[in-house]
Amino acid sequence: MQLAVIVLFFVFILIAVRRIGSFRLPIWGIMTAGAVAVLLLGQISIPDAFSAIQWETILFLFGMFVVGAAIDLSGLLRSYADSLFAGIRSQKKMLFWFIFAAGFFSAILMNDTVAIIGTPFALWCAKKYNVPAKTMLFALAAAVTTGSTASPIGNPQNLLIASSGLHEPFLLFLYYLFIPTVIGLLMVYFLLAWSLKFNKTVCENPILDETGAVVGCEIPEEPKAAPGFLLLTKLSVVVVFVMIALLIMASVAGYEFSLLFIALFGALPLLIFSNRRVELLQKVDWTTLLFFVSMFILMKSVYDTGFFQNLLPAGFEASVPALYLISIVISQFISNVPYVTFVLPVLENAAAPVVSYMTLAAGSTLAGNLSVFGAASTIIIIQNAEKQKETLTFLDFLRFGIPLTIAQTVLFIGWLMLLS
């Protein structure tokens, strides 16, 4: 077996265990060590490693992380959430709105962005509504994964697929994947709402209803940001939405522009005019960007061995069930972004129909609901939760992820076969 594959195997094991003795290993550090290892072992040259990095994806993430950092620092999300959830006392009603809000925004702001800004909010909801933190963390992970399926900018792998030459990507994703995505989010809700009856927590400052039942917990208010910074943050969010609308209209008119413009134009007002730009740059999740850079390098070295390509059956790209199921399985071992970089050339060389690209997008994305290995957004959520002394273990995730993935697999394969 080639050395690059052996390195990947050890990376996989370490991410699952994440502990050597009493020392806890950061996930980004494990992936970075893997990239350094293949470079030192001569499995990939430095020029090839540099060219393997999907710089458009990295820059897109950077721009959205800046916007996400501003949303977090300004308290914009918390202020709107307080208004939205003001009249919600029920745990199940909160869970419903949380899942659909996270799913909607992940389709627009990219799932990794929502994973970053949504983790502290998910833990806030867990405390306020007396819901187990693990339940809210999985709700966030599954919602951003599922919701991101329906958009070409919902996640990095969809961005790669949309950038591979698809015409009118926004309309294609909407036509093929919007309806099953909404149903998929409902599946997330019903699974977690059902689980609430088996999970009870206790809060220090309970809120009681007129019958004396605990309906939530008192949470201290956070300091509000200066009006000027809050206004700039709102402007950046508006710019993101406007850029998305312009790109959709341009796509319909037959003009194609890089999706990178959405993130960069959204971040520009903050980076140019804000007096907190240094604080914003400090708050950008640089370790996640390093994780992606390292992952691209490691996976390119593995790709060059031909190991995983040899596991793919001949003609799998022409079958919706085969392509979808293979995407689910292999994404657990090499994550969905590098898997898509493996398969895209196969689809392009075979002149595969559009439904194959949509199947690749759905399967590789929803693989993230099976285990913590399936999506980088889940790793982001776990890393951010651990900063607040909470976590979601490999087995915790599987308990929710296995039934959800089975149900969503039946749904999406049936839907895509119907359209094909």
CA distance 192 to 186: 10
Provide the pLDDT for residue 395.
85
pLDDT digits (tens, 9 = 90+) for 234-245: 888 888 888 878
Instruction: Name the 3-class secondary structure at 354.
Output: helix
CA distance 364 to 371: 12
Residues of the chain with pLDDT under 70: 1, 18-22, 78, 81-82, 84-87, 198-226, 251-252, 254, 256, 259
Provide the pLDDT for residue 324.
95
Provide the pLDDT for residue 112.
80
- pTM of the model as a whole: 0.79
391-419 core/surface letters (b: 16 or more CB in 10 A; e: else): bbeeebbeebbeebbebbbebbbebbeee
HEC string of 274-333 equals CCCHHHHHHHCCHHHHHHHHHHHHHHHHHHHHCCCHHHCCCCHHHCHHHHHHHHHHHHHH
Distances (CA, A) of 183 to 62, 93, 147: 31, 17, 10
Provide the pLDDT for residue 407.
97
Provide the pLDDT for residue 212.
60
Provide the pLDDT for residue 137.
94
Residue whose entry in the numeric block shows the structure tokens 């490999």: 394
Instruction: Name the 3-class secondary structure at 358.
Output: helix
CA angle at 95 for the pair 213 and 394, rounded to the nearest 5° = 110
Provide the pLDDT for residue 218.
59
Q: Which residues pair with 216 in a beta bridge?
A: 207
Q: Is 360 exposed, middle or buried (0-12, 13-18, 19+ CB in 10 A)?
A: buried
Provide the pLDDT for residue 205.
58
Tokens representing residue 327 in the block? 């995407």
CA distance 244 to 181: 19
Between β-strands 23-24 and 19-20, what pairing exists: parallel, antiparallel or unpaired?
Answer: antiparallel
Cβ(112)–Cβ(155) below 8 Å: yes
Provide the pLDDT for residue 209.
58
Provide the pLDDT for residue 413.
96
Q: What is the DSSP code (8-state) at residue 366?
A: H
